[in-house]
Amino acid sequence: VQLVESGGGSVQSGGSLRLSCVASGYTGSNFRMGWVRQAPGKEREAVALIDTAGSTTYADSVKGRFTISQDNTKNTLYLQMNSLKPEDTAMYYCAAGARYSIAAYLTYPSAFAHWGQGTQVTVSS
């Protein structure tokens, strides 16, 4: 499974960005997908996840501001980020896994089996 992210950048507080992740190298739709971020000196944090039925879950820190979605015809995962805050600054990774529920991945993001290379998001105040 290959995951390639894009869409990161630098924005001011209150701005918006949309991240994309193109997935390839697998067949079927068995994977739970998610966005995981990591800021320097901090642990990985799963922020938004989606399962094979389209159900979603979010970290409390981004609820109401971030929206995860996917276009199965394009094998692409999205993360729409609105009302960005300086504390959202991090490297954002697309991740995929088939073993656990999205609730489990929310708590244990390192359990994801497949990862992209990451895209940097920087929010200035």
pLDDT per position as a tens digit, 87-123:
999 999 999 999 999 999 999 999 999 999 999 999 9
Closest CA relative to residue 1, chosen from 37, 36, 30, 40: 30
> What pLDDT score does 99 carry?
95
Closest CA relative to residue 50, chosen from 9, 97, 118, 17: 97
Give the dihedral of Cα atoms 14, 107, 112, 122; nearest 10 deg.
20
> What pLDDT score does 45 carry?
98
User: Tokens for 7?
Assistant: 């869409």
Return all residues near 91 (Cβ < 8 A) that are at least 6 apart.
37, 38, 39, 118, 119, 120, 121
pLDDT per position as a tens digit, 33-85:
999 999 999 999 999 999 999 999 999 999 999 999 999 899 999 999 999 99
> What pLDDT score does 25 carry?
86
